[in-house]
């Protein structure tokens, strides 16, 4: 049963990561589309694309840092010897 909970946890993290990467890009492109349809300025898609990629990269960096910190805490806890594990 513990194995299934670990699999579901990893699948949830992967799904969250994917959605959080694509959402800023799609949101910025949608806003660019709305601006273009109201003003007729087609060049708005270029900054919208780069702002979306920047938002996705920022999230990916923070998510990576969070995962690394969790792994480091697990390693520190497993390294120490407790009363029952000597």
Whether residue 36 is contained in a domain is answered as: yes
Whether residue 26 is contained in a domain is answered as: yes
Which range of residues forms the domain containing residue 19? Answer: 14-77
Q: Is the pLDDT of residue 85 over 60?
A: no
Give the pLDDT confidence of 6-63 residue by residue, as tens digits.
899 889 988 988 998 999 999 999 999 999 999 988 899 999 999 999 999 999 999 8
Among residues 69, 31, 64, which one has the least CA distance to residue 48?
31
The model's pTM: 0.71
Distance CA 81, CA 56 (A): 40
Contacts with 63 (C-beta within 8 Å, 6 or more apart), sequence order:
17, 20
- Asked if 32 contacts 44 with a C-beta cutoff of 8 angstroms, the reply is yes
Whether residue 1 is contained in a domain is answered as: no
Whether residue 65 is contained in a domain is answered as: yes
Residue 48: count of CB within 10 angstroms of its CB = 20
Give the pLDDT confidence of 59-79 residue by residue, as tens digits.
999 988 988 898 888 777 766
- Domain tally for the chain? 1
């Amino acid at each position: 049963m513990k194995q299934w909970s670990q699999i579901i946890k990893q699948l949830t993290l992967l799904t969250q990561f994917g959605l959080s990467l694509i959402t800023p890009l799609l949101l910025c492109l949608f806003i660019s589309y709305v601006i273009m349809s109201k003003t007729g300025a087609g060049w708005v898609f270029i900054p919208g694309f780069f702002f979306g990629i920047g938002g996705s990269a920022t999230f990916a960096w923070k998510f990576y840092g969070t995962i690394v910190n969790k792994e480091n805490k697990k390693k520190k806890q497993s390294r120490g010897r407790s009363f029952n594990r000597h």
